[in-house]
Amino acid sequence: MRVFVTGGSGFVGGNLVRLLVEEGYQVRALVRSSSPITRLKDLPVEWVKGDLTDPDLASKMQGCQAVFHVAAHYSLWQADQDILYRSNVQGTANVLASARKAGVERTVYTSSVAAIGVLGGGRSADETYQSPVEKLVGAYKKSKFLAEQQAWLAARDGQDVVIVSPSSPIGPGDVKPTPTGDIILRFLRRQMPFYLPTGLNFIDVRDVARGHLLALERGKSAERYILGHQNLSLKALLDLLADITGQKAPERSLPAWLPLSVAWMDEYVLARLGKTPEIPVDGVRMAGQFMYYDASKAVRELGLPQTPLLVALRDAVAWFVEQGYVRGTYL
C-alpha cells in the first residue's frame, strides 16, 4: 500500500514514517522546503515539497490508498493565532478535501488530547468527554478543536476518517524539541531548580506511531482514539529522570501566580518593547491543570502498546546526548 504522510519530518511523523517503511509500506511524504529531513534521508521515502494549504495537494496524493495527516503548527504565543488557524484548521480542511478528490480510501487524522480538554479534579478524560471550546486554554487548543471538527464533518459526509489523539510523547527523534522534550532537556541542563504542580499523560512516541498504523488497520471511521499511557505529575516525571541520570530532582514547587506574572510581563509588556518573549502566558495557564487521560479504548480496540515510560525516558535521554543537545554521561 502507498500512503501519504503530512508532518513526516516532525517528532511523531518521523517515527511514523520510519515505522511505515519497516512494515513494508510505500511512503510519500509532504515536507516544507524549510523542514529538516536529515535523520530520515536513509529511508526509501518519496519526499514532495508543499504546504497544507496548497491548492494542488490532491495531485500530490494521487495513487495513495491512505493519508496520515500528522502535520500541525504548534505555538502557545497569542500573536500566532492567525497562523494557527490557517495551518491547523484551514490546512486540515484542505487535506481532507484533497484526499477525497484524490480517491484516498482512508484518512487517519492526528488530533490531540488538547482538543478534548481537561475534565478537572485530577480525573481522567476519555473519548466521550468534550470540553466546551470556550474553556480550552489558548489559541493552539482551540485551533486543534476546530481542526478536529473538520474531520468529524468529513466523516459525517461519508469520508472514511479515523481520529487519533496523542497525549504527550517521549522518546528518540525529538528534533525541535516538543514541550515534553524541552522538560527533559532543561532537567539535563540543570535548568529546573523548581517545578510547577501539574500533571500530564505520557506515552512512548514509538507507541504513538504504532497507534497510527493500528488506527489505519483496525480503527473505525468517525471514531476517536486517545493514544496515551500513564498519568504522572511533573514531580513524578522529574523523579524518574533523577533515577535514570543520577541528577537530583527539584524539591520545591512554585506557586502558580509567580510564573503567570512573569509570563504576562514577558509576553504583553517586554515583547512590545522589542524583547523576544520566552514564557507564554497560555503555557503557564495550561500548567495550572492536571491534563490526565484514559487510553483504554485504544488499548482494547486497536491493541495500542503500552511501553514502560522508563524505557521511553531512557531512550530520549540517550538520543539527546548522542545528538549533542547536552553533554555528559547519564546512562
Give the active site residues: 140
Residue 44's contacts (CB-CB under 8 Å, 6 or more residues apart) are: 21, 27
Give the neighbor-by-neighbor strand order of the sheet with 106-110.
45-49, 26-31, 2-6, 66-69, 106-110, 161-166, 224-227
28: which strand partners?
Answer: 4, 46
> Measuring CA to CA, how many Å separate 297 from each of 161, 229, 286, 310?
17, 11, 25, 23
Rounded distance, CA 90 to CA 97, Å?
A: 11
Rounded distance, CA 152 to CA 210, Å?
A: 23
Residue 39, Cβ density class (10 Å: 0-12 exposed, 13-18 middle, ≥19 buried)? middle
Rounded distance, CA 327 to CA 186, Å?
A: 12
Rounded distance, CA 330 to CA 314, Å?
A: 9
In one-letter notation, the amino acid at residue 233 is S
- Please say whether the beta carbons of 206 and 48 come within 8 A: no
Rounded distance, CA 281 to CA 64, Å?
A: 41
Rounded distance, CA 155 to CA 161, Å?
A: 6
